[in-house]
Amino acid sequence: MNENNNNEPEKKRGDAGIFIRLLIISIALTAVFNIINTYRILRQTTEVSYSTFIDWIDKDYVKKVEFQSDRIEITLKDNAKPETMAAKLGTTVFRTGYLENDELIPLLLEKNIEFSTPILYNSPILSFVLSWIVPLVFIFFIFRMLTRSLDGRMGGVMGVGKSNAKIYMQQETGVTFADVAGQDEAKESLVEIIDYLHDPEKYSRIGAKQPKGALLVGPPGTGKTLLAKAVAGEAKVTFMSLSGSDFVEMFVGVGASRVRDLFKQAQENAPSIVFIDEIDAIGKSRDNQIGGNDEREQTLNQLLSEMDGFDTSKGIVILAATNRPEVLDKALLRPGRFDRRIIVEKPDLIGRENILKVHSKDVKLGSDVDFKKIALATSGAVGADLANMVNEAALRAVRMGREEVLQEDLLDAVEVVIAGKEKKDRILSATEKQIVAYHEIGHALAAALQKNTQPVQKITIVPRTMGALGYTMQMPEEEKYLMTKAEMYAEIVVLLAGRSAEEIKFGGVTTGASNDIERATNMARAMISMYGMSETFDMMALESIQNRYLDGRSVSNCSPETLAKLDNEVLELIKDCHKQAKAIIGSQAEALDELAQFLIEKETITGEEFMEILGRFTKISKDTDENSDDKE
């Protein structure tokens, strides 16, 4: 009861502010209405002198006279002589100033001229009421009705100052931790928070306090929002969800008002969980730079104040998600606000396998489905990618007329998500087809003839919708978290081997290697600038990663002179790898021709077919086994 009474003055102040705003708007619109109306009347009539008016009466030109508060309106007869102003201007209505003239009325009676005074102008008070008060009341009433109607739909006067948080209960979200896989550490941290909400006494007995907030951090698609919804399903308490952009408005102060309203709702519905998605929209670090956003900073200040002020014993937890933690204000991240940072990373091999199982639980699967192989082929994929792959596989099975999903459907779905669908309407010419075939076989040969590389899974020269005219797919033998210098060097050689095959076979180059060159250059630069794999710079960090969970773009930490030396060393590394690639391709000229012709004929060949043909020209099978043993 006390809480409600304390909120009454705030509610009244809010209503008074709304009333004043509507009144000001109504007065302004009424003034505009009167100005336009007066301007319209003045444009419809032409002003003449009083003496001309008396002269027209004497000449019997006047048909009607209307006396108003500040002027006299004159209407001439249709048969007025051509020399009158009516004939010149093409109008019969004029006006002149009002003068006190006792002889005017008798003159009008003598000439039988009709005259009158409108009731509106008879009384200044009545004129004011009809011109100002009535339109003002009418406009105010219309606006008030509109705002009341929108208030019910949008949570306030057109939503201003009110929180747009959606309140979910367990039966509405339909998501629990059983629906989330590959994020065991994140679930463990959230389970502890949920357990505290259910049984706070267990923690208070030992003196433990509930965390005020938890920040979910990770790349897009890893399941941050899904985890938050799973918390709602598990906690069985009020779950309030909204996005950081919901606080941002054009009017300064509105976002802060919405933050206050949000925490007020959370306290009224305690125990409760508040989830703010994309909190970086309002939580960016404050600065004094020109062009700063006052509204966003006021909203952030209010959020900081509210998170300090609420009592955790009432069972309120703040969850937030972002993929840009580096831009968040330090005051927001300190203990006492967001006490816990929960990293939601890309899943590992076991995590990807479990995610595939979760998303395929309602899908009819064939007996040959091996999720481990699919997980190996999708290194770096996030939960959203894997869910999309399962759905694409199911769609392909339907297109093929089957009632269950096979392993080939899942492998094709991996290619669809990574490279796009086959572009059947793009037909390559015989020359282009030959160039693409030699290019892809070049990649495959470099991968097969080197140590520290991944085995070839598939080679195709069928164009894809994402722009690739062909590609070579490699399948890792195991999940790896580190790459050695030798492995990175070999990977650059594989990337440059496609262009090298073109040079050796055709004596020229094409534009098809642009993506290979870009990836090779980025890898070579990272080896020197970030991984300390350089004799010149030793273990000096020349660049660092910005926006780690988004584009992962590198930024320079050194002088322009050092950057120039860095560029030279990258160039030397690329040249060395290019030379190595040409040496590998040149030593297998016969195998290159044989494999390229086979690929041109078949358009798509498997890794087994590739290795079988290559085995006729080299002892690659034995070497591959040895390489495999070395890796183990």
Active site residues: 440
- The DSSP code for 247 is G
Strand segments, DSSP code E, in 30-81 are 46-47, 62-67, 71-76
Q: Give me the residues paired with residue 340 across strands.
A: 214
Main-chain dihedrals φ then ψ at residue 97, nearest 5 degrees: -70, 155
Identify the helix (H) or strand (E) that includes residue 606: strand 604-606
446 CB-contact burial (10 Å; exposed 0-12 / middle 13-18 / buried 19+): buried
How many Å is the Cα radius of gyration of the chain?
40
Cα atoms in the Cβ-side hemisphere of radius 13 Å centred on 622: 4
Cis before 124 (ω within 30) = no
Determine the Cα angle at 458 with ends 454 and 462, to 5°: 135
- Separation between Cα atoms, residue 287 and residue 292, nearest integer Å: 7
- The DSSP code for 169 is -
Helix axes 224-235, 184-198, angle to 10 degrees: 30
Helix axes 514-529, 560-586, angle to 10 degrees: 130
CB 517 within 8 A of CB 499: yes
Cα atoms in the Cβ-side hemisphere of radius 13 Å centred on 279: 31
* Cβ-based neighbours of 98, under 8 Å, separated by 6 or more: 67, 68, 69, 70, 71, 72
- Separation between Cα atoms, residue 573 and residue 193, nearest integer Å: 51
